[in-house]
Amino acid sequence: MAKKGEIPYPLFETRRATDGWLITYRLFSISLFIGIFSIWLYRFSHLFNIHGGVEEEDDDGEKSWVVWVGSLAAELFFGLYWLLTQALRWNPVFRQTFKHRLSQRYEHSLPGVDVFVCTADPDKEPPMMVMNTVLSVMAYDYPSDKLSVYLSDDAASEITFYALLETCSFAKKWLPFCKRFHMEPRSPSAHSDGFCLPTSSDHDDDSIWIQELAAIKKLYDDMERRIEDATKSGQVPRDVRSMHKGFSQWDAYSSRRDHDTILKILLHTKDSLNSKDADGSVMPTLVYLAREKRSQYHHHFKAGAMNSLIRVSSKISNGKIILNVDCDMASNSSESVRDALCFFMDEEKGHEIAFVQFPQNFVGVTKNDLYANHVQVFNKLEAHGSDGCGGSLYIGTGSFHRRDILCGRKFNDQHNTINDWNNDDDDQLIMEESLQKQEQESKPLASCTYEQNTLWGSEMGLIYGCAVEDVMTGLSIHSKGWRSVYCNPERKAFLGAPLTTLGQVLVQQKRWAEGDFQILVSKYSPPWHAYGKLSVGLQMVYCNYCFWAPKSLPILYYCIVPSLCLLKGIPLFPKISSPWFIPFAYVILAGNTSSLVEFLSCGGTVQGWWNEQRMWLYKRTSSFFFAFVESILKLLGFPLASGFAITTKVAEQDASQRYEKEIMEFRGSSPMFTLLATLAMLNLFCFLGVSMDALISEDGFIRVLKRMILQIMLCGVLVLINVPIYEGLFFRKDKGGLPTSVAIKSTIFALSACVLFKAMNFIT
């Protein structure tokens, strides 16, 4: 403990990348920008002298200005976007917490923590998965009387409520078991192989450990069987329903979109009779909430659920720190709360920090990460770069927030948060009220009409009107002067279920891209709304994601036009003998090499990097493009009927087996699959066409290669990337392939485009 007047040792340390790494990377970036600028110069200098500058031997070059201007526009966008990405790499910072110092100073004055777990569909988010997440956060290494867990069920499912009752009973054995044997992680499903040994191996041969392990595993298996039986039948056992009065709240239930508020406090730290575990210790508060839904009111999806939780929890527990996690993101470390508090309670910097963001990590990802689930470069590099620019983005899960800031408190550099936490009388209020009274008084806070004519959704809580309410909320918080930090400890704080089909990935990415584009054209737009409120670097970070959807246009151009130009012999890039070939070759080679080095340094494999390049292309040519089109139509007053898309966490057995073998899963037809297949077929036809022309050409194959080597390479790489699509179209016999209808449509569309382009006179 520091003496009076002395500055105590900090609760966290910030370390920047080594000077050698920064200097090397910045020099490399400068050289790459020189190459990009040279490409721009090449395009501009030849814009009005195409015949003489592009290919003097090409009689048709003089008339190829249309595609030339398109190439210029695409490369301008690519270069400017690349500049935005540099904010994520220019100054990364790394944080280390000192939890022992936190315990020494504040163990007896730790703030209350409210954990919000959100679920919305028991069919796509299995109750058993949700319950494992609930159990994992209930078992945090934190004073139980200061920990509260809230489950928001936006489906208002009796099955989910029943599963939570079962979980409540199991937790009375599970929590003391975890603490006694120092279990890590504390989600039972993480030990599905028979429960691994505890982190402290002193009990390896202890008969007590063996006996308790067998007992707890049997309890878990029994609970799992009962919950899964109820899930399959769609009914709660009659004896359970009649015994627990909480089920009576479903008597007036009509549908998921038409029901009253359903609220039940299952455990409360002040209920000394019913809220103790098997060892007699107090258990965390546990609350079930299904907010009121009416068809005539917009419920604002996850943002609305979070705001209802904020209000309801303020009446029941009023924890000063709020953690929100997705229902599939179980805690993997029992010390995550203490890690977060090291930032909030730091005497020198803590008052500036609004939220602490932990990364999303996934368990069960294949060795080569078929769908780029791991986002390794983002977690291990880019997010640290964002932190170095002034704050981590709020990504909607694994996020610790100060309650008062979420409720709209403005930034005050002199504010002393620790004193606020120590002078809190809310616990006394809770002791004086019955649980039933708290339930009844809290229900109106989750009603459909509560937010009318209030600041909720605009200045308070999560922001409405955006598909990525988390990112917009984080931007709003940063714009008010608050900072955030990114915490990526050695032991991963949360582990979730990866997406195991291409369709799931594309749907999720479409929603994200659409939401980010909505931010760009909203009043919160980073380029102008945040100007002067955020550092330039943090503005660039936000813009990096807000331009996802528009970025689809130049990428689609590069995937289509250069390949089609091969059919007409129109060169868009300099000959291999031209000095202008050098900047193109350097940017391509250096850019891809640095990308590969980054990926490998973050723990990936070469095949994993190639898979990431494939998913990079698939997402930008389908998800991002559809997000852009739908957003523009919505701005023009022609909104398409689309709602919040929940990505399913359930995979059929045969699909899971194919995922483990790293075989891409398509299964079914969708406009995005048709677009991807059409692009794949178009590039295949163009590549085969130019190959045939080169073989029979009088100029000879070598001459064609010299004239259009970069275009041929680009088209060839696109063909290689699309190999899984060709397999899905023509060679796969399993259910995971693409249907015949997609094969027919994509072939017709691609051939039509080739024939039409070949016949267009104004191009040549």
User: CA 42 to CA 21: how far, in whole Å?
Assistant: 32
The dihedral formed by the CA atoms of 543, 544, 548 and 551, expressed in degrees to the nearest 10: 100
User: CA 459 to CA 473: how far, in whole Å?
Assistant: 9
Burial 21-36 (b: 16+ CB within 10 A, else e): eeeebeeebeebeebb
R_g (Cα) of the chain, nearest Å: 29
The CA–CA distances, whole Å, from 59 to 67, 69, 72, 682, 760 equal 16, 19, 21, 26, 16
- Residue 563's closest CA among 105, 8, 71? 71
- The single residue of 153, 326, 470, 516 carrying the catalytic annotation is 470
User: CA 569 to CA 591: how far, in whole Å?
Assistant: 27
- The single residue of 154, 326, 328, 369 carrying the catalytic annotation is 154
- Would you tell me how many other CB atoms lie within 10 Å of the CB of residue 760? 12
Report yes or no: 286 and 294 within 8 Å, Cβ to Cβ: no
The first and second tokens of residue 92, run together, are 């990364």
Q: For residue 304, give every residue at least 6 positions away whose Cβ sits within 8 Å of its Cβ, in sequence order, or none.
A: 291, 298, 457, 464
Give bridge partners of residue 282 from the DSSP assignment.
276
Pairing mode, strands 399-402 and 321-326: antiparallel
How is residue 313 annotated by DSSP? H
User: CA 760 to CA 119: how far, in whole Å?
Assistant: 53
User: CA 367 to CA 420: how far, in whole Å?
Assistant: 48
- Residue 382's closest CA among 365, 359, 398? 359
Report yes or no: 96 and 13 within 8 Å, Cβ to Cβ: yes
The helix (run of H) or strand (run of E) holding residue 287 is strand 285-290
Active site residue 154: yes
Distance from chain centroid for Cα 549:
16
How is residue 730 annotated by DSSP? I
The helix (run of H) or strand (run of E) holding residue 401 is strand 399-402
Active site residue 470: yes
Q: For residue 508, give every residue at least 6 positions away whose Cβ sits within 8 Å of its Cβ, in sequence order, or none.
A: 499, 645, 647
User: CA 57 to CA 745: how far, in whole Å?
Assistant: 38
How is residue 498 annotated by DSSP? P
Q: For residue 310, give every residue at least 6 positions away whose Cβ sits within 8 Å of its Cβ, in sequence order, or none.
A: 322, 403, 406, 407, 461
The first and second tokens of residue 99, run together, are 């939890």
The first and second tokens of residue 217, run together, are 């595993």
User: CA 752 to CA 18: how far, in whole Å?
Assistant: 55
- Would you tell me how many other CB atoms lie within 10 Å of the CB of residue 576? 14
What residues are annotated to the active site? 154, 470
